Structure 1
């Protein structure tokens, strides 16, 4: 592995965000989204896109002459031998978004940036403490729900998910059905169990036009009007790839939203 890699390619969005948070701008990446999330917009202008999801262009990777390729095991395994012939390739044993913290440390180690990683975590901890102080005891008693839809399903991120762990760090409670850990940190929601998203505050994220239609249909369910957040006008739309970003840059975006919607007249720290 190169000591100070200069031409890094990332083959997952969490790896991309991790590298940027560590001061390393990859030369190319794959993406999962059509529209870049706000936290990545300013960084993507000079990064080449190799494809979407798990279909990177090997021809483009060869032409770019990387000195390090970083990915996650389940998506790189089918082409690992080909990637390894192009450049040193490391793939983390990603276990879903509950492993976002360990994946960041994995990327930091691969890039030789472990000292800087400690600074990134320190800044995250400082922001969480600022949020907790701004929330105060009364707001920390809020029950915060999060539902998202993509690819034809309606899903809940649980307590050990990416955003779930941030909410937990901030001391915010979750509805009982969301306050549990599960492998992968995500569970599908059936319309019959709509009350599982009941809470004082409801954050909703949609990925694409069809997903927005799915939520619109969900709102026609008679149970929707029984939700406390609906009755109290505390349903907020948030950016899907940010709240499911799985890296410190996305975590900043989630914390910004929590300041914006939960802390009255407070500016994000």
Structure 2
């Protein structure tokens, strides 16, 4: 063999070896990047809550959401959901109802623990509705408890929502998107506060349940409406029950609100449209200023009752509240 052929073979061999080495390095780098993205965190993330401390050392890939507020948070952050409870899904999250890729984990108050186990999640999101399951859930996967006061939302309701969104943004590497959502919510809240700051109207928030009513005042489930939005209350009723204080039509007549907000719980529980004005009207209600001036607002029951502690639901609640302050019109009820 001539020395020219030997040189050619040597050069080709060296070139092939270099090419193979480069390919192997690229493959290894890609594998390492994917592994780091799917598994590793630069440092553990710890979230403190009323049930304890949840620590994460890896980026969650299979998330179980046991409350519609949590589903809305994940949806806002564009985080895939592996499984969720599907008994009461708000209209603004209805895309998940028949999504076969999202496992049905049962009911909000009583999730199907066998299904949660079978899902093999690496993060579980829960609220007070599932508090009695916290220990068992924590044994399945890291479990984050969302601290929402369903008996009295006075004081820090909006801040709690914003902080939870920031926590989830940190967990899922979506901090910029979380801040963007918070900025939009803060703008809406500030605008509403300015619009309502000097309004003299007094309002009553009531829940309709199979023909009966219950009221919510400045220290109740909807305290944030009065405390943080600045709505003036037509009654000093205070009820720590999540379902409010039972009242009669006479009570509403005596309170004589300028604005009456009605949450139709029956519509949610029976999966039907919100009740219409002529279905709740009676001589006593017709005597109120709210009824006479067309300021009876049938609010979005999904946003107020099923959620009310998530980003999208608060946008809807604020919109509903502002409807009560629109230019009054003679009642057509």
Relative to the length of structure 1, the TM-score reads 0.75
Q: 1:188 aligns with which of 230, 238, 245?
A: 245
Is 1:256 matched up with 2:311?
no
Q: Which of 142, 145, 151 is the matching residue for 2:201?
A: 142
**Structure 1 Cα separation of the partners of residues 137 and 150 of structure 2:** 22
After TM superposition, give the deviation of residue 250 of structure 1 in Å: 0.4
Structure 1 residue corresponding to 2:123, chosen from 68, 80, 97: 68
Q: How many angstroms does 1:66 deviate by?
A: 1.0
Larger radius of gyration: 2
What secondary structure is seen at the aligned counterpart in 2 of 1:156? strand
**Distance across 2 between alignment mates of 1:203 and 1:156:** 10
Note the residue ranges of structure 1 that are not aligned, 5 or more in a row. 265-269
Matched, 1:219 2:281: yes
Q: Which has the higher helix share?
A: 1
* 1:1-269 → structure 2 map (5 Å cutoff): 1-31=56-86, 33=88, 36-42=89-95, 44=97, 46=99, 47-73=102-128, 75-77=130-132, 79-96=133-150, 98=153, 100-101=157-158, 102=160, 105-106=163-164, 108-109=166-167, 112-113=170-171, 115-116=175-176, 117-132=178-193, 135=195, 140-150=199-209, 154-161=213-220, 163-177=222-236, 183=240, 187-191=244-248, 192-195=250-253, 198-208=256-266, 219-220=281-282, 222-244=283-305, 245=307, 246-263=309-326
- CA shift, 1:48, in A, is 3.3
Gap runs ≥5 in structure 2: 1-55, 328-333
Aligned residues: 256
Q: Indicate the larger mover: 50-59 or 90-99.
A: 90-99
Question: Does the CA contact (< 8 Å) of 1:74 and 1:93 recur in 2?
Answer: no
- The structure whose RCO (Cα within 8 Å, separation 6+) is larger is 1
CA distance in 2, matches of 1:225, 1:75: 41
TM-score where L is the length of structure 2: 0.63
- Determine the structure 1 residue equivalent to 2:7: none
Give the alignment's Cα RMSD to 1 decimal: 3.6
